[in-house]
Amino acid sequence: MAKILIIAEHDGTKLNASTAKCVTCARGIPAADITIAVCAASPASVAAEAARIEGVNRVVTLEHPANVHALAAVIAPQIVAIAGPYTHVLGPSTTFGKDLMPRIAALLDAPQVSDIMAVESASRFRRPVYAGNAIATVEATGAGKLVGTVRTASFTAAPAGGAAPVEAMPVAADLPEHTRFVSVSAAASDRPDLQAARRVVSGGRALGSAENFKILHSLADRFGAALAASRAAVDAGYAPNEMQVGQTGKIIAPELYVAIGISGAIQHLTGIKDARTIVAINKDPEAPIFEIADFGLVGDLFQIVPELEKLVGQRAVP
């Protein structure tokens, strides 16, 4: 049997959708027995949410004041202390999981498979390399534990409907004090979360300025869409870093992705190619984005965006 421990990602009160995607990945491993670990200062609400995910066998909580912020150096030893019985330790391939899971792997002396996009067996997985321009099938050899991060765009979230037992476990590890949380600056927004959004409107360098980038805001509102940006637009200061999509930013899989003024460097395309439908609006008919777009519209975005807004009319329900 594969005993799988999934590390929950949460903000202290709500579970991140990435956790239910990890569950779907874990359920692809034959004979999976799935435990979710919730490290928090007060884990009750997050644990209750985790317990409702279908396919989860149990939830364990690790309650400690030091868990008020998710610091890899603090969480890793707690997970290692309870990891004994497990064959696999999984986390999402978000910045939370990317930061944490290799720290756990090293302390467990276990190899890590990053960005799992498909499960072939308990030890064999497919993952993208070279910015998604090649897909590698990797196998972990040896009898030890395996750590993995799950490429969330490759899995749908396991639905609610379960009722797993929740068990509190003592925090038995020495927690370091050498790493301290200072602050997080997150732009307040009532738009859908980029990584969970069904529709995404995304802007590139052709927007030309932070001021111009704002023309996408009302279009995104009409679509009920999250906002995203290419690396070039973020580098130029038109949009904040949390909007960046691509090899080194977020990997997303919305139903609709509207790329506006984005030429489509391979590093960007790797972040969007799981989108169901891709729309590209660009004045350069040779832009590589048109190679993968389902619908391409060649023209001046400053003319097309207001037209689209008018045609789409009332704000959509997200």
Partner 1 sequence: MKRILVGIKRVVDFNVRIRVKPDGSGVITEGVKMSINPFDEIALEEALRMKERGAAEEIVVAAIGPAEVQQQLRTALAMGADRAVLVQSEAAPEPLIAARIFLKLIEREQPFAVILGKQAIDDDNNQTGQMLAALWGRPQATFASKIELTDGKATVTREVDAGLETLEVELPAVFTTDLRLNEPRYVKLPDIMKAKKKPLETLPLEGLGVEARERLKVLRVEPPAQRQKGIKVKDAQELVDALRKKGLI
- Residue 271 contacts residue 250 (beta carbons within 8 Å): yes
If residue 305 lies in a helix (H) or strand (E), which one and from where to where?
Answer: helix 301-312
Q: Which of 30, 130, 210, 300 binds partner 1 (CB under 8 A)?
A: 130
Q: Which of 91, 52, 82 is nearest to 64 (CA)?
A: 82
From the centroid of its chain, how far is CA 88? Answer: 20
Q: Which is nearer to partner 1, 44 or 292 (CB)?
A: 292
Chosen residue from 29, 38, 79, 105 binding partner 1 by CB under 8 A = 105
Q: How far is the CB of 150 from partner 1 (least distance, A)?
A: 13
Amino acid letter at 228?
A
Using the CB atoms, write b or e for 63-87: b if 16+ within 10 Å: bbebbebbbbebbbbbbbbbbeebb
Residues in the chain: 318
Contact 54/160 with Cβ under 8 angstroms?
Answer: yes
Binders of partner 1 among residues 184 to 223 (CB under 8 A) are 184-187, 195, 199, 223
Within 3-42, the residues that bind partner 1 by CB under 8 A are: none
Q: Are 7 and 39 in contact, with CB atoms under 8 Å apart?
A: yes
CB of 235 to partner 1, least distance (A): 7
Q: Which stretch binds partner 1 (CB under 8 A): 30-38, 89-97, 162-170, 201-209?
A: 89-97
Among 131, 157, 166, 175, binds partner 1 (CB under 8 A): 131
Cα distance between residue 139 and residue 122, in whole Å: 9
For partner 1, the closer CB: 60 or 200: 200
Verify binding: residue 296, partner 1, rule CB under 8 A.
yes
The Cα–Cα gap between 30 and 20 comes to 18
Residue pointed to by tokens 């990797």: 138
For partner 1, the binding residues in 227-246 under the rule CB under 8 A are 231, 234-235, 240-242
Q: Smaller CB distance to partner 1: residue 84 or 178?
A: 178
**141 forms part of the interface with partner 1 (CB under 8 A):** yes
The count of chain residues that interact with partner 1, using the rule CB under 8 A, is 88
Q: Note whether 121 binds partner 1 by CB under 8 A.
A: no
Q: Is 308 in the site for partner 1 (CB under 8 A)?
A: yes
Closer to partner 1 by CB, 156 or 165: give it.
156
